[in-house]
Chain A
Amino acid sequence: MGLEIAFWILAIIGVVAALAVVLLRDIFRAALSLVLCFLTVAGIYVTLSADFLAAVQVLIYVGAISVLIILAIMLTREVQRGSPANRLRIPAFVVAVLFFGAVVFAMVNTPWQVVDTPPLEPTTSALAIKLFGEGGFILPVEIAPVLLLAAILGAIVLVREK
């Protein structure tokens, strides 16, 4: 019962915050409501009993990515101009609604093979075995730091003063 209440509260707050991100005129407020949306997604992970992912979501999205975005907003002085829509506003809305309808139609009509096994808790050690253990995802784990290193070097090169 508590899970249902938590899900509905988090889902409603998250959807309202996501709508505020795309509808608010003020970019800075849009970024703050993006932070709120990230936090509610972390809460959604908790209701899905993904405790490690919830912590990672708070650390990476709420901690790092939102700070980067707010820093970029401060550096570009576009706050006064707001976030206007371009000429494609109505077609974009139609495309989004059509996409939503198609995806929901597919999701509701697919016979998912839901199993009733209670979820694994806590997930941290199981995830570590999955990532680093035998027959796991060790090769992607090795590739991900290379990607991060390339992204860091690329970001430094791009913003360096000439």
Chain B
Amino acid sequence: MSIGLEHYLILSAILFSIGLYGALAKRNAIVILMSIELMLNGVNIAMVAFSRYIVPLLLTGQVFAIFIMVVAAAEVAVGLAIIIAIYRSRETIDATEVNLMKW
């Protein structure tokens, strides 16, 4: 059986769903951030697969994937800075205990 577009799309859906479960169910803020990275990687696989199979000569999906990587790098830098700042002031990064902005 040859590999087609659907295989890559289902792989990206699996990675995205695993990341979604981790982002919803985990208490440690760093693990939540890692799960978000998994979701972004799944999206990137779908983008590159669309670029390869639907518009192989235009490469638009690969350009989008590059921009997603730029945004992911910025996001992980700011997110980890926020986590370290929270850890400094509250001595924990448990997402269920950080309820400063909860009304």
Q: Which residues of A contact B (CB under 8 A)?
A: 3-4, 7, 11, 14-15, 18-19, 21-22, 27, 30-31, 34, 37-38, 41, 44-45, 47-50, 52-53, 56-57, 60-61, 64-65, 68-69, 71-73, 75-76, 78, 81, 83-89, 91-93, 95-97, 99-100, 103-104, 107-108, 112-115, 117-120, 123, 126-127, 130-131, 137, 140, 144, 147-148, 150-152, 154-156, 158-159
Contact = CB atoms under 8 A, between A and B. Distances in A.
A65 B25 contact: no
A47 B66 CA distance: 17
B98 interface: no
A100 B95 contact: no
B74 A148 contact: yes
Contacts, number: 241
B contact residues, range: 35 or more
Given A22-B18, A22-B21, A137 B63 contact: yes
27 contacts: A4-B3, A11-B7, A14-B11, A15-B14, A21-B35, A22-B35, A27-B28, A34-B38, A48-B48, A50-B52, A53-B62, A53-B66, A60-B73, A68-B76, A69-B30, A76-B83, A84-B27, A99-B17, A112-B53, A114-B54, A115-B55, A140-B67, A147-B71, A151-B78, A155-B78, A158-B81, A158-B84
A21 B34 contact: yes
Contacts of B57: 117, 120
Contacts of A31: 30, 34
Given A22-B31, A86-B95, A65 B10 contact: no
Q: Which DSSP category, helix, strand, loop or mixed, fits chain B's interface?
A: helix
A34 B14 contact: no
A120 B11 CA distance: 23
A95 B20 contact: yes
Given A130-B59, A155-B77, A155-B78, A113 B83 contact: no
B59 A147 contact: no
Contacts of A37: 15, 38, 41
Given A72-B80, A92-B21, 20 more contacts: A15-B14, A15-B15, A18-B14, A18-B18, A19-B18, A21-B38, A22-B38, A48-B48, A50-B62, A65-B76, A78-B93, A96-B21, A112-B53, A115-B53, A120-B59, A151-B73, A151-B78, A154-B78, A155-B77, A159-B85
